[in-house]
Amino acid sequence: GAGVSQSPSNKVTEKGKDVELRCDPISGHTALYWYRQSLGQGLEFLIYFQGNSAPDKSGLPSDRFSAERTGGSVSTLTIQRTQQEDSAVYLCASSLGDYGTDTQYFGPGTRLTVL
Amino acid sequence: QKEVEQNSGPLSVPEGAIASLNCTYSDRVSQSFFWYRQYSGKSPELIMSIYSNGDKEDGRFTAQLNKASQYVSLLIRDSQPSDSATYLCAAQTDSWGKLQFGAGTQVVVTP
């Protein structure tokens, strides 16, 4: 079946502009996660959704970052007034939502470059 | 202190040999552990999960977990050039399923 999809695959923007990144999870997966991976670094957790609710937003680095999920499916991560330090690959993952033994499947990521 | 730690490598392994990757974690409540493989420019791909103490084997891969020592390892037997990648260790640290990742170990298999 179809995996996690993300769009756009690449985004180049100017400092100060807003960007929206989209994630389409695997059908039937109730849990959705956003991570960020900076060059040569491991993955940094940003936010978690269970259905349309976000019980854990602890990883969002500043109030310029927000995310929403509608219909228990597609999620959008918005970064306002982008800064150069926001440049990274933004990865989305989804899972069935079975706590304890859940497996997260990752999308291909969106590479964001802020000039 | 990082919650999940790995040697960054690179770990150079001759083709056909065993690659041994190590990972330690600091949060004792972590219950589930995962190894992901990430090729350059690609997203992480799950290769192993382990939840109980002991060994778990899947093909050429064996994961080992020791919760008392807070230690997870991955063995890759009969290493192939296609195994050259960065291997990420992850611990599930809360009931929401959030994963804490190590920085990854780069493995280079030389023909």
pLDDT, one tens digit per residue, over A44-64 is 999 999 888 888 888 999 999
> Shortest Cα distance from B65 to chain A (angstroms)?
15
Residues in B touching A41 (Cβ below 8 Å)? 103
Average of per-residue pLDDT values in chain A: 92
Give the residues across from B73 on adjacent strands.
B22, B64
Q: What is the mean pLDDT of residues A65-80?
A: 95
Q: Among partner residues A48, A108, A109, which is closest to B97 by beta-carbon distance?
A: A48
Is a pLDDT exceeding 60 seen at residue A1? no
Q: Among partner residues B92, B96, B104, which is closest to A42 by beta-carbon distance?
A: B104
CA-to-CA distance for B6 and B101, rounded, in angstroms?
9
Residues in B touching A106 (Cβ below 8 Å)? 36, 43-45
Per-residue model confidence (pLDDT) at position A39: 82
Cα dihedral sign, B73-B69-B98-A43: negative
CA-to-CA distance for B49 and B54, rounded, in angstroms?
12
| Phi-psi category of residue A89: left, alpha or beta, with phi > 0 → left and psi -120 to 50 → alpha | beta
B103 in contact with A, Cβ within 8 Å: yes
Q: What is the mean pLDDT of each run of 10 residues along chain B (111 residues)?
A: 84 97 90 93 93 95 95 97 96 83 95 89
Which residue in B has a C-alpha nearest to residue A88's C-alpha? Answer: B41
Q: Among partner residues B34, B46, B96, which is closest to A48 by beta-carbon distance?
A: B96
Per-residue model confidence (pLDDT) at position A99: 64
Say if residues B75 and B81 touch (Cβ distance below 8 Å).
no
Three-class secondary structure of residue B81 per DSSP: helix
Place of tokens 């919760």: B67
Per-residue model confidence (pLDDT) at position A2: 83
Say if residues A115 and A12 touch (Cβ distance below 8 Å).
yes
A39 in contact with B, Cβ within 8 Å: no
A97 in contact with B, Cβ within 8 Å: yes
Contact criterion met (CB < 8 Å) for A108 and B43 = yes
The edge-to-edge listing of strands for the beta sheet with A75-79 is A5-7, A19-24, A75-79, A65-69
pLDDT digits (tens, 9 = 90+) for A7-21: 999 999 999 999 999
CA angle A23, A89, A32 (to 5 degrees): 30
Q: Which residue has the higher pLDDT, A24 or B95?
A: A24
**Amino acid letter at B47?**
I
Q: Which residues of A5-16 are buried (b: 16+ CB within 10 A; e: fewer)?
A: ebeeeebebeee
**Amino acid letter at B89?**
C
Q: Among partner residues A33, A42, A48, which is closest to B102 by beta-carbon distance?
A: A42
A56 in contact with B, Cβ within 8 Å: yes
